[in-house]
Amino acid sequence: MISEQKNVYNFSSGPSMLPPPVLERARAELTSLNGSGVSVMEMSHRSDTFVEILRKAGDGIREALSIPEHYQVLFLQGGATLQFSMVPMNFLSRDRVADYIVTGAWGKKAVSDAALFGNVREIYSTEASGFRSVPEQGAVRIGDDSAYIHYTSNETIDGVEFKYDLDGGRVRVVCDMSSNILSKPIDIEKYALIYAGAQKNIGPSGVTVVIVRNDMIDRLPEGLPGLLSYRELAKNDSMVNTPNTWGIYLIGLVCDWLREQGGVSKLEVRNREKAAILYNAIDSSDGYYVGHAEAPARSLMNVTFRLSSVELENKFCAEAAAEGFVSLKGHRSVGGIRASIYNAFPVAGVKALVEFMTEFSRRNG
Ligand code: PMP
């Protein structure tokens, strides 16, 4: 949308489009931040200016999700993928077991990394039925002996999403929220730890946001390198080493934008509207487009669907791209079409895609 060369609607699943006003502001401040004569990428991460930027980004996330004082907000590196092993490294010992709910490709990866560090129980998996659904609240039996329960609130590849905050009872809940964080209000107190790669709703890639309850980090094992220990990272305000200063700066700008939009509850209304337009088009296509997820689990962020053949899907993507609808191809592991419509994606873009879909099905019926 921002491009000077070409106006496109960018459906990329991540890194995905950022709000155009955020990019404009970053461009305006790129070579000289606040008249300092240097860019944010060229100043010390220990400088007062950057420490203020870090505080602003942390406060922005805190405000957006109403995060209470007894949680820390950290900005880490290594992507959400490093959290797959950092979580068990910090919270799972050889004599304990952790429970995992697997509703898609990312949850499956989290299980295999965690199994390197302790006993992992896959207590619920929808793999056999093709990752099309999520369990209802209360349907999963979590072991009382579990060190934590892990789930993925939105499976980016498969397009299935939990519509509630999982209740872990006495067991600590850890959640990979990479692809739906900030898309709606959540009940933070239900979670012991949340992590999310920034590159969908938070900012650019290269930063992972971790929200962790204080009591989780009070009693961590000794012997972890500082960069892999939540306690050390929290104690050092995410700066055990040089953080991704540019990424954290952009997160602060995205938080400003979120506030201007009226916060996550307003964004949820818009996200629901966008998803409904697209799912309605799929449902009213007489089977020309077939949605992947079962209706109650349909993701508001990643709308996944198929056409009758791979050839037709390729034609769909090619013609869509020629008309400015880019990055609609499904993940290489599953194929099909995926329209990712995160916070920054405009309603107008969804309406325009639906017009294209109607026209495409008419021409290729
Ligand atoms: N979890 C989910 C739900 C994701 O969508 C992704 C990547 N898109 C990851 C984990 C891995 O994230 P990263 O590339 O930041 O390691």
| pLDDT tens for each residue of 31-79 | 999 888 999 999 999 999 999 999 999 999 999 999 999 999 999 999 9
Long-range contacts for 179-182 (Cβ within 8 Å, ≥24 apart)? Answer: 179/13, 179/14, 179/154, 179/155, 179/299, 179/301, 179/302, 179/342, 180/153, 180/154, 180/299, 180/300, 180/301, 181/65, 181/153, 181/209, 182/64, 182/65, 182/258, 182/264, 182/267, 182/343
Q: How far apart are CA 143 and CA 65, in angstroms?
A: 29
Name the residue with higher pLDDT: 223 or 322: 322
Of 174-183, 200-209, 300-309, 325-334, the least confident: 325-334
Asked if residue 179 has its Cβ within 6 Å of ligand 1, the reply is yes
Q: Enter the pTM of the model.
A: 0.97
* pLDDT digit string, tens, across residues 225-283: 999 999 999 999 999 999 999 999 999 999 999 999 999 999 999 999 999 999 999 99
Sorting pLDDT into bands at 50, 70 and 90, what band is 3? very low
80 has pLDDT over 70: yes
Sorting pLDDT into bands at 50, 70 and 90, what band is 1? very low
Sorting pLDDT into bands at 50, 70 and 90, what band is 222? confident
Q: How far apart are CA 74 and CA 90, in angstroms?
A: 15
174 has pLDDT over 60: yes
Asked if residue 156 has its Cβ within 6 Å of ligand 1, the reply is yes
2 has pLDDT over 70: no
The proportion of the chain whose per-residue pLDDT surpasses 70, expressed as a percent, equals: 99
CA of 78, closest atom in ligand 1: 16
- Largest pairwise CA distance in the chain: 64
Choosing from 156, 209, 331 the residue with most ligand 1 atoms within 8 A of its CB, the one to mutate for a pocket test is 156
Task: Supply the pLDDT for residue 168.
Answer: 96
178 has pLDDT over 60: yes
Asked if residue 340 has its Cβ within 6 Å of ligand 1, the reply is no
- E strand residue ranges, 198-298: 208-213, 290-291
Asked if residue 173 has its Cβ within 6 Å of ligand 1, the reply is no
CA angle 319, 320, 324 (to 5 degrees): 120
Q: In this structure, which residue's CA is closest to atom 8 in ligand 1?
A: 14
Choosing from 154, 178, 244 the residue with most ligand 1 atoms within 8 A of its CB, the one to mutate for a pocket test is 178
* pLDDT digit string, tens, across residues 302-316: 999 999 999 999 999
5 has pLDDT over 70: no
Work out the average pLDDT over 76-89.
98
Task: Supply the pLDDT for residue 219.
Answer: 79
- E strand residue ranges, 199-354: 208-213, 290-291, 302-306, 325-326, 337-340
4 has pLDDT over 60: no
Task: Supply the pLDDT for residue 133.
Answer: 98
Mean pLDDT of the chain: 96
Three-class SS state of 108: helix
